[in-house]
């Protein structure tokens, strides 16, 4: 994985809010280098020793910034992402959920041709276990290893990572791409990075109903991924047209169903699990076979 995903100069937009301050503290406790935060009306204050600035440009006058984690309310998230893009921050992670779709369409346009990579919104963030984390993934479930995990679901990410760690199987990277229909980094981007990274031995991919991301991933895996992939698609009992949790988890057609996606991925060579608890045993099998 590129060094972009293990940044050394991290800021938090919305650091003075309850969520921003709590998770900034947790990120720093895990080893992430939080150098500053932003809050337009509280510049000059400190949050647990972290200086607060009005804007990212103000921080950049004194510090290099290679990643930002966004905790601002949904109504202000578009502006916060725009600010990070305009400041050419390489990695933008947006935790905020409930951002209007038309706002994300504008963000998507602004990202095109920019120097920034966006993860999220509605993302739990990313982690390089044993080194750093950016977002809200719980510290205690992470353990260093050689499995790349990419997921649309934050809750299932936590469950799978905790199970892997409990079984003595560590993770090299954990990436929560977020569950909104319009987002930044997607499955294919992560799969390409995991495939190219020699420190990743196997991949866990967690998808869900709605959209075509998993189907595009199946096409990519079939053509371009040689490493073993274990997958799970949530929502096999989902009724059509009903939103289940994430804004993007709406079953609108057969191609967006868990059954169809599971079949596509299986045909591409992915080991598909019937339940999320089957993932760890499958990874254990792969680990034994490669030893």
The reply to whether CATH 3.40.1380.20 applies to domain 3-119 is no
- Indicate if 143-290 has the same CATH topology as 3-119: yes
Judge whether 150 and 178 are in contact, CB under 8 Å. Answer: no
Mean pLDDT of the region 273-283: 96
Between 279-290 and 154-166, two packed helices, what is the crossing angle to 10 degrees?
50
Distance (Å, rounded) from C-alpha 219 to C-alpha 265? 8
What pLDDT sits at residue 84? Answer: 98
Distance (Å, rounded) from C-alpha 28 to C-alpha 139? 10
**How far does Cα 141 stand from its chain's mean position?**
16
CB atoms within 10 A of CB 214: 27
Distance (Å, rounded) from C-alpha 65 to C-alpha 105? 25
> Which residue matches tokens 């079939």?
222
Mean pLDDT of the region 68-90: 97
Domain extents in the chain: 3-119, 143-290
- Considering the domain 143-290 in this protein, what is its CATH number? 3.40.50.261
Q: Is the pLDDT of residue 26 over 80?
A: yes
- Cβ neighbours of residue 279 closer than 8 Å, sequence gap 6 or more: 160, 163, 164, 204, 206, 230, 232, 273
Mean pLDDT of the region 81-97: 97
Q: How confident is the model at residue 254 (pLDDT cuts 50, 70, 90)?
A: confident
What pLDDT sits at residue 2? Answer: 54
What pLDDT sits at residue 242? Answer: 55
**Which one of the listed residues 9, 63, 102, 246 is annotated catalytic?**
246
Pick the more confident residue, 113 or 251.
113
- Is 9 annotated in the active site? no
Q: Which two tokens stand for residue 229?
A: 């992939």
The pair phi, psi for residue 266, each rounded to 5°, is -65, -40
Judge whether 4 and 91 are in contact, CB under 8 Å. Answer: yes
Judge whether 120 and 186 are in contact, CB under 8 Å. Answer: no
**How far does Cα 90 stand from its chain's mean position?**
15
What pLDDT sits at residue 160? Answer: 97
Q: Among 193-197, 253-257, 282-286, name the one with the lowest average pLDDT.
A: 253-257
3-state DSSP call for residue 212?
coil
DSSP 19: H
Mean model confidence pLDDT for the chain: 92
> Which residue matches tokens 């966006």?
118
3-state DSSP call for residue 34?
strand
CA angle in degrees (0–180, nearest 5) for 221-261-124 = 80
């Amino acid at each position: 994985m590129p060094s972009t995903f293990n940044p050394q100069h991290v800021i938090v937009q919305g650091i003075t809010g309850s969520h921003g301050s709590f998770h900034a503290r947790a990120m720093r406790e895990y080893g992430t280098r939080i150098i500053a935060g932003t809050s337009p009306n509280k510049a000059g204050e400190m949050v647990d020793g972290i200086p607060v600035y009005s804007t990212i440009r103000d921080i950049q006058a004194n510090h290099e910034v290679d990643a930002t984690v966004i905790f601002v309310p949904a109504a202000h998230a578009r502006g916060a992402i725009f600010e990070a893009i305009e400041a050419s921050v390489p990695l933008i992670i947006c935790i905020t959920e409930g951002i209007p779709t038309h706002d994300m369409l504008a963000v998507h346009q602004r990202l095109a041709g920019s120097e920034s990579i966006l993860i999220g919104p509605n993302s739990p963030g990313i982690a390089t276990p044993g080194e750093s984390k950016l977002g809200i993934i719980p510290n205690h479930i992470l353990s260093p290893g050689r499995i790349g995990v990419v997921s649309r679901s934050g809750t299932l990410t936590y469950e799978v990572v905790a199970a892997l760690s409990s079984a003595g199987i560590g993770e090299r990277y954990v990436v929560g791409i977020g569950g909104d229909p319009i987002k930044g980094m997607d499955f294919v981007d992560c799969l390409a990075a995991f495939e190219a990274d020699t420190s990743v031995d196997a991949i866990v991919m967690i998808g869900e109903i709605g959209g075509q991301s998993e189907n595009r991933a199946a096409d990519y895996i079939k053509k371009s991924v040689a490493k073993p992939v274990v997958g799970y698609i949530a929502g096999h009992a989902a009724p059509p047209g009903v939103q289940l949790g994430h804004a993007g988890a709406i079953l609108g057609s057969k191609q967006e169903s868990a059954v169809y996606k599971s079949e596509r991925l299986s045909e591409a060579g992915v080991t598909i699990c019937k339940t999320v608890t089957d993932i760890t045993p499958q990874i254990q099998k792969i680990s034994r076979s490669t030893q």
